[in-house]
Amino acid sequence: MAWKSIDRQTDPIPEDAGTILGTEARAKIRGFLDRYEDKRGALIPSLHVAQETAGHLSLQVMKEVAECLGINPSDVLDTTSFYTHFWTHARGKKVIVCCRSITCQMMGGDKVLEAIKKELGIDEHETTPDGKYSLITEECLAGCDHAPCMLINEKLHERVKPEDVPRILADPDNDKLDVPRSYLYDGVGPEEK
């Protein structure tokens, strides 16, 4: 087997990458610093804001998050690569997260996953050619009493049957929520926005 060499001299971020996070996202990220004793404590909510703003966490976006928080880019990369919920490559407009934990499996979650794959023609961690949907599986989505469950973006769909899948995926509002998760990070209710 041939040795594989790694080029550590060339910056993996292209020179023309530009700045991706805008003023508003940067202010929001810096605003998290007051809430934590350690700068790295603010990393998870910051990554959610960055991903919501940029679509996915490219190396350039991770570098900008590190700059905003005053931490090492390697710390950002470590955290980003640990969690399946953070995407380092482009993803579809809507991300379907199918639960793969035991309660959902016992209630037919594997058949729901197969129905989604068949309906969209994609496998896990793939995106439909029109860029509309990406698909992943994750452990328990905290909806075991309504298993089997899946998320479309932040919206939880409960007691999903394989035959429901085409209808759910065809619904343009299948990811709409009354209170988006970003409100939770801001600590501000929708009525105060």
Q: Return residues touching ligand FES (CB under 6 A).
A: 99, 101-104, 140-144, 147, 149
d(CA 137, CA 131) in angstroms, rounded, equals 18
Of 45 and 143, the one with the shorter C-beta distance to ligand FES is 143
Which is nearer to ligand FES, 71 or 135 (by Cβ)?
135
Residue 79 three-state SS:
helix
32-39 contact pairs (CB < 8 A, 24+): 32/69, 32/185, 33/69, 39/69, 39/70, 39/71
Other residues' Cβ atoms within 10 Å of the Cβ of residue 26: 19
Q: How far is CA 124 from the centre of its chain?
A: 14
Supply the minimum distance, in Å, between the C-beta of residue 149 and ligand FES.
Answer: 4
Let me know if 9 is exposed, middle or buried by CB neighbors in 10 A (0-12, 13-18, 19+).
Answer: exposed
Please tell me the distance from the alpha carbon of residue 101 to that of residue 67, in angstroms, as a whole number: 37
CB-wise, 72 or 84, nearer to ligand FES?
Answer: 84
How far apart, in whole angstroms, are the C-alpha atoms of residue 97 and residue 184?
20
Task: For ligand FES, give the closer residue by CB, 15 or 145.
Answer: 145
Choose between 154 and 186: whose C-beta lies nearer to ligand FES: 154
Please, what is the minimum distance in Å from the beta carbon of residue 146 to ligand FES?
8
Longest dimension (CA), the chain: 62
Q: How far is the CB of 62 from ligand FES (least distance, A)?
A: 29
- Shortest distance (Å) from residue 7 CB to ligand FES: 42
Q: Tell me the closest approach of the beta carbon of residue 51 to ligand FES, in angstroms.
A: 22
